[in-house]
Structure 1
């Protein structure tokens, strides 16, 4: 089996996560976090659509990590974010991190909005 090291562009992969935190690009971020090609920032959860909409033009899809388990997205949240022209895909936060890293390594235009596990 041949192993290749994954090369990322300027975007930062998720290195790890744990109770209440995410490690992204070697730095630890506490609480809910949004990850876009232009950087990592705090996210105010489902009530904070503005943080996601402001950067939506730089990506095609936002993976929404809903915590330890997958959960339905609030209708208002989904409607507002999708109206900005970006797809929204809910999944558990661990699955969102893995999916994001794989697609990021392929050069895809993806982002994350994560609730902690």
Structure 2
């Protein structure tokens, strides 16, 4: 009997986020429970180790695509929190401007920038 294959959650394309809340997101006629990372290469399930203390390693996929991203929107949950210094420094070194905000504001801003075909990426922490 073959073992179960667990694949990383990934939507291979750019899509606006249609809804958020209840611990997840809806986009491209699909839903995802948990946080997501929206990159030029697609939308990925994303689980930072500690949403309150994001680290550069939480953004390895983003850094791999840094040349295609100018702006990173970070949906920090229900409340705005400052990005940790180490993460801000890593983003600056990669030439990426980061803008932390509440997840709701980040989703709305992401959808506008995506519609304008801007070089935008987003990291959204799920909210209930």
Question: Could you tell me the TM-score, scaled by structure 2's length?
Answer: 0.77
Match among 103, 107, 112 for residue 102 of structure 1 = 112
Q: Which runs of 4+ in 1 moved over 4 A?
A: none
Secondary structure of the corresponding residue to residue 60 of structure 2: helix
Count of aligned pairs between the two proteins: 108
Uncovered stretches (5+) of structure 2, i.e. residues with no partner: 1-12, 49-53
Please tell me whether Structure 1 or Structure 2 has the larger radius of gyration of its CA atoms: 2
Q: RMSD value over aligned CA atoms?
A: 1.4
The alpha-carbon deviation at position 22 of structure 1 amounts to: 1.0
- Checking the alignment, whether the CA contact within 8 Å between 1:12 and 1:37 is kept in structure 2 is no
Match among 19, 23, 27 for residue 26 of structure 2 = 23
Corresponding residue of 1:116: 126
Distance in 2, Cα, partners of 1:32 & 1:56:
20
Distance in 2, Cα, partners of 1:81 & 1:43:
18
1:84 corresponds to 2:94:
yes
Uncovered stretches (5+) of structure 1, i.e. residues with no partner: 1-9
Secondary structure of the corresponding residue to residue 16 of structure 1: strand
Secondary structure of the corresponding residue to residue 107 of structure 1: coil
Corresponding residue of 1:13: 16
